[in-house]
Structure 1
């Protein structure tokens, strides 16, 4: 395995532990933060309720809270990856359950992730269909 993938696997494990411990408002975020660069950036599609750019550990913690306001659950059904130095592309087939509607959405999300010095620096997720995400959430699409 590459160093970038190893670092990302450690982050994913810390994220799973954080969510299993209750997530935002209930669990200690420092375990996740230990795998993130201090200036980490998360870019989400602007059309999503949790869209925009989230910066730093505080931004990532707020992003996790925004995601948990939208979704009650997320299951990874299948995952594929490609690693090129510090960059990792991860294709996730996943199932989300919307908090407001109870609807489940099975979809794919491609993440372009940068890892340097053993820490995640940047996330760029690309949803297969943001309109389907908004529909599941009960959000107006225009």
Structure 2
């Protein structure tokens, strides 16, 4: 992305391409967050549902780097299968079909995420993801005593 690019659709599609490159390079711990940093405002805010293993509010570049580490600890794979841009402008609305495999349990899920993504000055400044069923996602990511082979 050139620094003069402020078109929200260009910023977002370039960020998703950089994210794919980041993950292909090994993601957190292997690849540099510098691949993604130019797409996020230094004071950006990501709001994840509290019931998720990576739930909470993540702030700034350090927060985003920590978020990607939390995602890597949670998911063995997290593939964006199909994306539809439902609204474009300074606030984007994106519907994404995800197929993922939980690291702790090996369980696979396919689920939708609807996100509002705010672009300010050519950078992502705020993200609100909405999951259809956070309880199912959390359950798939949690190894129970039975999953771990423990006897009751």
* Normalised TM-score (structure 1): 0.93
State how far apart, in whole Å, the 2-side matches of 1:17 and 1:76 are. 13
1:22 aligns with 2:22: no
Count of matched residue pairs = 139
- Structure 1 residue corresponding to 2:43, chosen from 39, 49, 69: 39
| Other-structure match for 2:128 | 124
What is the deviation of 1:134?
1.1
On the 8 A contact 1:78/1:92 being kept in 2, the answer is yes
State how far apart, in whole Å, the 2-side matches of 1:4 and 1:82 are. 13
1:62 aligns with 2:66: yes
Which contiguous aligned blocks of 4+ residues in structure 1 show a shift greater than 6 angstroms?
none
Unaligned runs of 5+ residues in structure 1 are none
Unaligned runs of 5+ residues in structure 2 are 1-5, 145-152
State how far apart, in whole Å, the 1-side matches of 2:110 and 2:68 are. 20
* Normalised TM-score (structure 2): 0.87
| Other-structure match for 1:90 | 94
Question: RMSD of aligned C-alpha atoms?
Answer: 1.4
On the 8 A contact 1:4/1:83 being kept in 2, the answer is no
| Other-structure match for 1:114 | 118
Secondary structure of 2:36 counterpart: helix
Larger radius of gyration: 2
What is the deviation of 1:139?
6.0
